[in-house]
Amino acid sequence: MILYSFIIIPLAAGILIYLVPKRQMIRFAFLLQLGLLGLSAYNFIMIRLEGPREMVLGGFEIIAGISLRCDTLSGALLILTAFIFTMCYIFGLMDRLMSNLFIFLFLVLQALVTTIFLSRDLFNIYVVTEVSTIIVAVLIMFKKDSRSIYDGMLYLITNIAAMTFFLFGTAFIYKSFGTLDIDMIEAKMHAVANPKALILPFSLIMTGVCLKCAFVPLFSWLPKAHATPSAPSIVSVILSGLYVKCGIYMFIRMREMFMPAIAIDEVFLYIGIATGIAGFVMAMAQKDIKLILAYHTISQMGLILMGISYGNQFSYYGGVLHLFNHAIFKSLLFFFAGIIISKYKTRDITKIRGVFKRMPYVSVMAFAAMLGITGAPLFNGSVSKYFIESGLEGSIVEYEFILISAGTIISFIKFSQIFPGNGSEGKIRVDRWKKAAVTIMGFMCIAMGLGGTIIIGAVFNYEVSINAAGYARNAAIFLISLAGGYFLYTKYLKKTRFIREGISIELGVNEIGICIAGFFAFITAAAYLIK
């Protein structure tokens, strides 16, 4: 019953909170999150001791029933889900936004995200993803102004269209294998006599999944959704810190399912490279603090895809570890952005100055997140990037990885212009709950940097160690990139029109539809040619 609990408890609590309109219910929701966090930790320990848990709804045979399965990867993601939601409740505990309706939607989304991580049934994944898409769209539009409604509707239409591809692919899979269970399909893939017959369902499913991951060229919806001007900060945290990880998780599972018959990792590797480069280039061109962070989510998804797709064990472990690290430092950065916007009443980083003097404590925590995302030694991003780069070492892809990392550094050099200044307006008071949230996340950036190998060992049951010489080499590359990036930005890039005025990509529904169709055609052609 423990797997059902992760779904039923948030749903039941959300309904209860909605029906009992009392302010005290916010505290109840917070205590509930602490309980789910403890339960997810216990569940992970039991999986490590006893092996994966599996349950089939209604007691049917697995071929006919809807199955839930939790291995160490999905178990670790359950912990991450409960942790990020807990931090969001701490950060927004005293906000007026935390109405009973908002908490209800938040808890429903948590149950749906958890279901995605536990589901082993393709149709169940489709249904849950579609429902979660609707909930996310409502959260984006929660303040009901024209911009948020436009962004929310664009997000809704785009993601529903993409998941329609996933549904058609699921139908083809069911026709071919007579089951929707991912593990059973993977086992039968080995016996497929004609793999080319699976290219169409493969392309359909991966098109839907890759849009959820915001890979090139399917990323234009993400900045609008994650950084819409009226979206609450905790919504941006959930979307960028956690919800986009559902897409990466689905990509990992679909990749494993099709691997025995269709493997085009090399194609996805170059998609990852293009995504990483496009993300940091677009981030450098932004002045909106949330848009900068949103485009960096795209760039980091590219790095994760590179690690997963390269075909090396260490790069794969690094890619998965970076999934967890990104959730931590990006959530902290969006928390920080929310505080900045609420205090300075602007999102334009060219108009924000003196942050360090006015908010020294919060600024230090933000530095931890910035050091994490740029891969500074001892911080969480450095460990996952170390393993990715160790797997890429000696290939041309390693230099492209270094380029993306250097671009991230340059972008955050531009971002850091908000910290200097005399702060003559005086100190800014930050609510103690918000300080508590950013403090916990800041220390997590350090803790996960020091314990990255422990996380890999726990998730994959594989002991890894960091080579001191290799880590020192990566640290040297970081320092050289930092010095070179600072020189390049201050002497040249800062003066360019590209940096001063920025650029934006405003794709409408029609243009996004063309991108989806083009991506589907590209994946289909690539799979056919490689096979």
Which amino acid does the sequence have at 174? Y
Are 176 and 201 contacting, i.e. CB atoms less than 8 angstroms apart? Answer: yes
- pLDDT tens per residue, range 440-488: 999 999 999 988 888 888 888 878 888 888 899 999 999 999 999 999 9
- Residue-level pLDDT at 23: 64
Give, as one character, the DSSP assignment of residue 59.
G
The CA distance from 138 to 156, in Å, is 9
Residue with tokens 């199955």: 67
Residues 233/184, Cβ–Cβ less than 8 Å: no
Q: Are 274 and 302 in contact (CB under 8 A)?
A: yes
Give buried/exposed letters for 138-167 (b at 16+ CB in 10 A, else e): bbbbbbeeeebbebbebbbbbbebbbbbbb
Q: Greatest CA separation found in the chain?
A: 73
The whole-angstrom separation of Cα 514 and Cα 31 is 46
Q: Which residues have C-beta within 8 Å of that of residue 525, sequence separation ≥ 6?
A: none
pLDDT 10s digits, 135-180: 999 888 877 777 778 888 888 999 898 899 999 999 999 999 888 8
Cα torsion angle, 451, 456, 461, 464, sign: negative
**pLDDT tens track, the chain, 531 positions:** 688 889 999 998 888 888 876 666 777 888 888 999 999 999 999 999 888 888 877 666 656 567 789 999 999 999 999 999 999 988 886 676 677 888 889 899 999 999 999 998 899 999 999 999 999 998 888 777 777 788 888 889 998 988 999 999 999 999 998 888 898 999 998 888 888 889 999 999 999 999 999 999 988 888 888 877 767 788 889 999 999 999 999 999 999 999 988 888 899 999 999 999 999 999 998 888 999 999 999 999 999 999 999 988 889 999 999 999 999 999 999 999 999 988 888 888 988 988 999 999 999 999 999 999 999 999 999 999 999 998 888 889 999 999 999 999 999 999 999 998 876 677 888 888 899 999 999 999 999 998 888 888 888 887 888 888 889 999 999 999 999 999 999 988 888 887 777 776 777 778 888 999 999 999 999 988 876
Helix (H) / strand (E) element for 55: namely strand 53-56
Q: What is the pLDDT of residue 64?
A: 57
Residue type at 244 in one-letter notation: V
Residue 21, CB half-sphere, CA atoms under 13 Å: how many?
3
Residue 378 φ/ψ, nearest 5 degrees: 80, -10
Which bin fits 59, alpha (ψ -120 to 50), beta or left (φ > 0)? Answer: left
CA distance 306 to 276: 9
Rounded to an integer, what distance in angstroms lies between the CA atom of residue 138 and that of residue 153? 9
Q: What's the DSSP call for residue 238?
A: I
User: How far, in Å, CA of 404 to CA of 393, rounded?
Assistant: 15
CA distance linking residue 228 with residue 319, whole number of Å? 28
Answer yes or no: are the C-beta atoms of 295 and 283 closer than 8 Å. yes
Residue 64 tokens, joined:
């006919």
pLDDT confidence of residue 198: 92
Cβ contact 148:229 at 8 Å = yes
Give the global pTM: 0.94
- How many Cβ atoms from other residues are within 10 Å of residue 84's Cβ? 23
Torsion of CA 273, 452, 365, 290, to 10 degrees: 30
| pLDDT confidence of residue 498 | 79
Instruction: Give the tokens for residue 264.
Output: 């085009």
Quote the pLDDT of residue 143. Answer: 75
Rounded CA separation 448/372 (Å)? 10
